């Protein structure tokens, strides 16, 4: 068997059924072998989207996603997608072609140092020099990508190695003496945490993406109800806890809900699970949860104490640790259920119920999100791009289930949403998939309309069209004296015509009430569809300015009228939050 | 927050191409300051030992060790206690020594410091000195006056005293 065939066979042994890829000179041997294989290959129209699609596949399914690109420019185009997966701990294996071993280092045609280039943005990377190494490397790559704190792994495959003969062995042993992720949490720390939680009067849980990755949403719900702890999430934690639950606070942070920001500010015990305390989540660190003892549960020991000082660190798998914690708390009969705290939280949450119904044109983003929420069901996977569209969704869209809200958090990669939706739909063909994007971000990846058409991948893309690089314009409006330097996109293109040029169904929505219908029928049509939604560019999302504490929100926040007449949102809520 | 301190980190790593780059790259990326890094074979053929000298407070050191441990090719990391550690550095010094008188003087210093002269030319003496880094500094200071043409230092390599291993 040849090296490339060994690669394909090894992928098959890992249960890989689909790869997202783009061929090129240094991958000719491998692609020739793919021609004869049963592997499903989806030809994307840009390698960056192969990586994002593999990432979306991984986030939606929990399995490892796979992408392939040729050497040099193919590999460099993968880089943004790999870095995106790295920042958000998404397990992908990226296979890149490389020039033949004899030419490595000679600046050969389309040569680039893929190993060196991807070292800082991968969990690990490999380059086989002989085909014999391939089976073990592929197995190691999947094991590393998918276990512990997941992350991307790159396999850099020289052209000659793809052709070199080897004796293929099915069950290779892998040998990684330096890689032993801790799964069980330290019993003593769990005991200490249980007693701290038991004695807390005002506990809050902060859930991150790690809760979703470790499938511990059930345990999270149990713990929250057991001790009466309201739950807030990071952006990536969205969906780990049902956001329509009484104890849900919504997202925390710079663009988070004020109720969540207040609760964390006031709590006396913060139980952080599978989150890394990004600056977007914490705001100014010295102000963050300053009245609380902090328990931090994470599988990556390096995350503990990195950004926030922690009182009780617990390293391990969130599912195992939360179960043990629940057991310890129930055994101690220490249910601290502090109704006073729960009620107070409910009360200031009530004061901040954001207004979402608007009958204006151009459409208010809040109204748009409301209609999207009404058109989809609990199992629909929504992806977002980056910018205001992302934060409107994070802020207003109610997620109820894990793995249904996919967004580029750590790297904030424009152009993520649409290709990630493609990957998600391929992974979960039974689920409806809706991508929400800004006009700027969508234009970065609009060529993938060809892919969804060609392979008939029925995702629906809602382009929130404000003709601005909205999020940047927002910062310019708030912090740079409204000097809108190079953030106006002008009046082109016509997205409906653009989609139609690719043979993709398209529609335009401009008035309140229309989107719900159009989106529902697009979802039901079973065809890929683009919906151009004209929105009000002047609507500003309230936010915490960089460098400020979580309660120092700026920007007007509209509340539902029955909540608190005309009192500015944060003033009323602040009052209820008290001290 | 405790004070900045110089730490001696000993790491066992797989003896593979690219490992030094992975370790050094981590220091750059995370904004940690390396003073020196040495690497060479260990008692096991497939494993190399690295000695990293880095400055930082307790928090920085904790991050350094944790981040090092995350590298798949790094097998073990230990912050050695300075008082229970033997630490040696090799240094070569080429001194400008055009006269008999200077030569005699240099050789005298070298003997006091238990160094060795390993090369001689009409114009220069080359000294080999192995020892604690501050001793090497002291010898360099002494011969500086004659004019130093070249210095090559390895940076310290270290291990625990007694039976303790990592
Ligand atoms: C690849 C990339 N380039 C630049 C940015 C910086 N950036 C963040 S949000 C944003 C504006 C996004 O505009 P648009 O896609 O129209 O979405 P909106 O904010 O209007 O919803 C920009 C330029 C980024 N995050 N990613």
Model confidence pLDDT, tens digit, residues A526-537:
999 999 999 999
Percent of chain A residues topping a pLDDT of 70: 96
pLDDT tens sequence across A367-400: 999 999 999 999 999 999 999 999 999 999 999 9
Nearest CA to A166 out of A126, A127, A114, A128 is that of A128
Question: With a cut of 0.90, is the ipTM above it?
Answer: yes
d(CA B125, CA B103) in angstroms, rounded, equals 8
Contacts for A144 with CB less than 8 Å, ≥ 6 apart:
A123, A124, A151, A153, A176, A179, B72
Distance (Å, whole) CA A206 – CA A3: 46
Q: Give the model's confidence band at A337: pLDDT under 50 very low, under 70 low, under 90 confident, else very high.
A: low
DSSP 8-state class, residue A554: B
CA A136 to chain centroid: 30
Tokens of B130: 């192995």
CA of A375 to the centre of ligand 1 (A): 26
- Ligand 1 centroid from CA A390, angstroms: 10
Instruction: Please state the atom number of ligand 1 nearest to the C-alpha of residue A415.
Output: 1
- Cα(A444) to ligand 1 centroid in Å equals 10
A438-463: average pLDDT: 98
Cα(A82) to centroid(ligand 1), Å: 19
Q: Is A428 a catalytic residue?
A: no
Q: Whose CA is nearest to atom 9 of ligand 1?
A: A387
**Nearest chain B residue to A182, by CA:** B70
Substitution target from B70, B71, B74, B166 for chain A, most A beta carbons within 10 A: B70
Kindly state whether B75 is in contact with chain A, defined as any CB-CB distance less than 8 angstroms. Answer: yes
Candidate from A253-267, A419-433, A543-557, A560-574 with smallest mean pLDDT: A560-574
For the purposes of burial, counting CB atoms within 10 Å of the CB of A180, is it exposed (0-12), middle (13-18) or buried (19 or more)?
exposed
Residues on chain B touching A176 (C-beta within 8 angstroms): 72
User: With an 8 Å Cβ cutoff, are A177 and B69 in contact?
Assistant: no
In this predicted structure, the answer to whether residue A563 has a pLDDT above a threshold of 60 is no
- Residue B40 and residue B11: Cα distance in Å, rounded? 11
B66 and A CB contact within 8 Å? yes
Kindly state the percentage of chain A with pLDDT values over 90. Answer: 89
Please, which residues bridge with residue A258 across strands?
Answer: none
pLDDT of residue A266 exceeding 80, the answer is yes
Q: Please list every residue in chain B whose beta carbon sits closer than 8 Å to the beta carbon of residue A286.
A: none
What gap in Å lies between CA A221 and CA A326, rounded to an integer? Answer: 11
CB A241 within 8 A of CB A206: no
Is A109 known to be catalytic?
yes
Count of Cβ atoms closer than 10 Å to residue B162 Cβ: 7
Structure tokens at A145: 């990508």
Q: Chain A interface residues facing chain B, Cβ-Cβ under 8 Å? A: 115-116, 119-120, 123-124, 144, 176-179, 300-302, 305-306
> What pLDDT, on a 0 to 100 scale, did the predictor assign at position A549?
93
A-to-B residue pairs, Cβ atoms closer than 8 angstroms: 37
Q: Are A253 and A186 in contact (CB under 8 A)?
A: no
Residue numbers of chain B with a pLDDT score lower than 50: 1
Window from A137-141, A257-261, A350-354, A402-406 with minimum mean pLDDT: A350-354
pTM: predicted TM-score of the whole model, two decimal places = 0.96
Q: Which of these, A492, A503, A479, A509, lies nearest to A443 by C-alpha position?
A: A492
State the smallest CA–CA distance between residue A129 and chain B in angstroms.
Answer: 12
Active-site annotation holder among A5, A47, A111, A219? A47
State if residue A435 touches ligand 1 by the CB under 6 angstroms criterion: no
Q: Crossing angle of helices A3-13/A134-146, nearest 10°?
A: 30
Strands B124-131 and B47-56: unpaired
Residues of B in contact with A302 (CB under 8 A): 63, 66-67, 69-70
Q: Which of A9, A14, A63, A110 is catalytic?
A: A110
C-alpha torsion sign, points A72, A75, A77, A79? negative
Q: In the predicted model, what is the mean pLDDT of chain A?
A: 95
The answer to whether the CB of A535 is under 6 A from ligand 1 is no
Active-site residue, A471 included = yes
Question: Which residues in chain A have their CB less than 8 angstroms from residue B75's CB?
Answer: 177-178
A117 noted as active-site residue: no
Structural contact between residues A353 and A560, judged by C-beta atoms closer than 8 angstroms:
yes
| pLDDT band at residue A336 using 50, 70 and 90 as cut-offs | low
Q: Dihedral sign for Cα A176, A179, A184, A188, please.
A: positive
Buried b or exposed e, range A257-281, using 16+ CB within 10 angstroms:
bbbbbbbbbbbbbbbbbbbbbbebb
Secondary structure (3-state) at B20: helix
User: Closest partner residue to A305 among B22, B29, B62, by Cβ?
Assistant: B62
Give the span between the Cα atoms of A310 and A306, in whole angstroms. Answer: 9
Average pLDDT over residues A550-560: 83
Strand partners, A42: A20
* In the predicted structure, residue A276 carries a pLDDT above the cut 70: yes
CA angle B6, B11, B12 (to 5 degrees): 170
């Amino acid at each position: 068997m040849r090296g490339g065939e060994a690669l394909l066979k090894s992928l098959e042994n890992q249960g890989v059924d689909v790869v997202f890829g783009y061929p090129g000179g240094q991958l000719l041997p491998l692609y020739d072998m793919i021609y004869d294989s049963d592997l499903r290959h989806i030809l994307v129209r840009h390698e960056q989207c192969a990586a994002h699609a593999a990432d979306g596949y991984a986030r939606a399914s929990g399995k490892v996603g796979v992408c392939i690109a040729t050497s040099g420019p193919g590999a460099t185009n993968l880089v943004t997608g790999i870095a995106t997966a790295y920042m958000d701990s998404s397990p992908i294996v990226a296979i890149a072609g490389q020039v033949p071993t004899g030419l490595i280092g000679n600046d050969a045609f389309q040569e680039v140092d893929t190993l060196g280039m991807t070292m800082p943005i991968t969990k690990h990377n490999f380059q086989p020099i002989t085909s014999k190494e391939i089976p073990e490397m592929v197995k190691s790559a999947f094991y590393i990508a998918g276990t512990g704190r997941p992350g991307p792994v790159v396999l850099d495959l020289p052209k000659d190695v793809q052709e070199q003969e080897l004796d293929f062995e099915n069950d290779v042993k892998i040998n990684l003496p330096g890689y032993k992720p801790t799964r069980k949490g330290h019993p003593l720390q769990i005991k200490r945490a249980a007693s701290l939680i038991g004695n807390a009067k005002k506990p809050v849980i902060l859930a991150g993406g790690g809760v979703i990755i470790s499938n511990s949403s059930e345990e999270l719900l149990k713990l929250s109800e057991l001790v009466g702890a309201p739950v807030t999430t990071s952006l990536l934690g969205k969906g780990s806890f049902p956001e329509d639950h009484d104890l849900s606070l919504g997202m925390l942070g710079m663009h988070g809900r004020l109720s969540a920001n207040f609760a964390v500010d006031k709590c006396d015990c913060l139980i952080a699970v599978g989150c890394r305390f990004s600056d977007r989540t914490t705001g100014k660190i010295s102000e963050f949860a300053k009245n609380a003892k902090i328990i931090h549960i994470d599988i990556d020991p390096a995350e503990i104490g990195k950004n926030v000082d922690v009182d009780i660190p617990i390293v391990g798998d969130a599912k195992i640790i939360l179960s043990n914690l629940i057991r310890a708390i129930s055994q101690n009969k220490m249910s601290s259920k502090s109704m006073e705290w729960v009620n107070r939280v409910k009360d200031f949450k009530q004061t901040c119920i954001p207004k979402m119904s608007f009958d204006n044109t151009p459409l208010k983003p809040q109204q748009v999100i409301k209609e999207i929420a009404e058109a989809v069901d609990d199992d629909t996977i929504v992806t977002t791009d980056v910018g205001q569209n992302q934060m409107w969704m994070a802020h207003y869209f109610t997620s109820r289930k894990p793995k249904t809200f996919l967004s580029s958090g750590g790297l904030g990669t424009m152009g993520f949403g649409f290709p990630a939706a493609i990957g998600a739909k391929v992974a979960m063909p039974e689920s409806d998939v809706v991508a929400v994007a800004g006009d700027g971000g969508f234009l970065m990846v609009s060529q993938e309309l060809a892919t969804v058409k060609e392979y008939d991948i029925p995702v629906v893309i809602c382009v929130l069209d404000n003709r601005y690089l909205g999020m940047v314009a927002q910062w310019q409006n708030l912090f740079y004296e409204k000097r809108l330097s190079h953030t106006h996109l002008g009046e082109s293109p016509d997205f409906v015509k653009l989609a139609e040029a690719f043979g993709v169904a398209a529609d335009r929505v401009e008035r309140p009430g229309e989107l719900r219908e159009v989106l529902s029928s697009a979802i039901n049509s079973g065809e890929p569809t683009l919906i151009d939604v004209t929105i009000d560019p002047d609507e500003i999302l309230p936010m915490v300015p960089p460098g400020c504490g979580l309660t120092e929100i700026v920007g007007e926040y509209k509340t539902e009228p029955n909540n608190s007449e005309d009192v500015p949102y944060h003033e009323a809520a602040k009052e209820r939050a008290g001290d | 927050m405790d004070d900045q301190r110089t730490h001696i980190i000993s790491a066992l790593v797989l003896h593979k191409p690219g490992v030094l780059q992975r370790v050094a790259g981590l220091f750059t990326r995370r904004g940690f300051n390396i003073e020196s890094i040495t690497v060479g074979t260990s008692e096991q053929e497939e494993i190399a030992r690295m000695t990293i000298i880095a400055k930082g407070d307790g928090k920085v050191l904790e991050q350094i060790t944790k981040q090092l441990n995350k590298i798949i090719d790094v097998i073990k990391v230990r912050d050695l206690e300075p008082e229970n550690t033997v630490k040696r550095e090799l240094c070569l010094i080429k001194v400008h020594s055009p006269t008999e008188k200077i030569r005699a003087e240099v050789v005298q210093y070298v003997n006091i410091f238990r160094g060795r002269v390993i090369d001689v030319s009409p114009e220069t003496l080359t000294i080999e000195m192995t020892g604690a880094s501050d001793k090497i500094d002291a010898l360099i200071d002494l011969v500086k006056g004659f004019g130093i043409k070249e210095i090559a230092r390895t940076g310290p390599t270290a291990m625990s005293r007694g039976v303790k291993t990592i």
